[in-house]
Chain A
């Protein structure tokens, strides 16, 4: 079973920041938080991952709370092309092998 909880759906206005929450209260010390997104009928696209510090790349920012029990993915200026299902995954891909456990994700709709 997935170790994360996400809202099933969210809306965001084009050009505004999209903030996608994720709860992972049972995360263990070596587990990272990964975010992927999947645009309809395509393969999942890697976005970002982090352990305990906040992370930023060209796609998004990842904010992890100090107790590591929750995180937020931020798309700073959402566009229509960001409409997708966003998956938050907790995993230790080094020590636990290559198993990503996907939940249901959050369906983000970016509206004009």
Chain B
């Protein structure tokens, strides 16, 4: 049973560029959440996608956007990169079930370095 996968594993960009990160959820899951983890900090919630729509959003600027495809995979896009966007970007998947907690399972992450 494949777990959550993310690509690429590492990425180097320069300030002002745009980046797209990709996530495939665990088999059977339909919901994808994205987190940013700066060095030495806990992960911070960016947003969650369910049924191809943004369901909830954390405190991140509009430069951060996402998309979910019909096969439940997802992309995270970041425009106009800043040095402070350097971080580990984590994708987590879950299954939306009425009345049940949607336990999230994380992928290995994409490490982004902005120079």
Contact = CB atoms under 8 A, between A and B. Distances in A.
Interface of A: 2, 32, 34, 36, 41-46, 49, 87, 92-94, 97-105
A93 B56 contact: no
27 contacts: A2-B42, A42-B108, A43-B106, A44-B43, A45-B106, A46-B105, A46-B106, A49-B101, A87-B42, A92-B101, A93-B102, A93-B103, A94-B100, A94-B102, A98-B31, A98-B33, A98-B45, A98-B55, A98-B94, A98-B104, A99-B33, A100-B33, A100-B35, A100-B104, A101-B45, A102-B42, A104-B41
Looking at chain A's contact residues, the main secondary structure is loop
Interface string B24-56: 000000010101000001111100101000011
B90 A44 contact: yes
Interface residues of B, number: 30
B107 interface: yes
A43 B92 CA distance: 9
B66 interface: no
Contacts of B108: 42-43
A1 to B, nearest CB: 11
B44 A102 contact: yes
A9 to B, nearest CB: 13
Query: What are the 10 tightest A-B residue pairs by CB atom distance, in nearest-first order?
Result: A102-B42, A43-B106, A97-B56, A98-B48, A98-B33, A93-B102, A44-B106, A99-B45, A93-B101, A43-B108
A19 B27 CA distance: 33
Nearest to B4: A43
B42 A43 contact: no
A104 B37 CA distance: 11
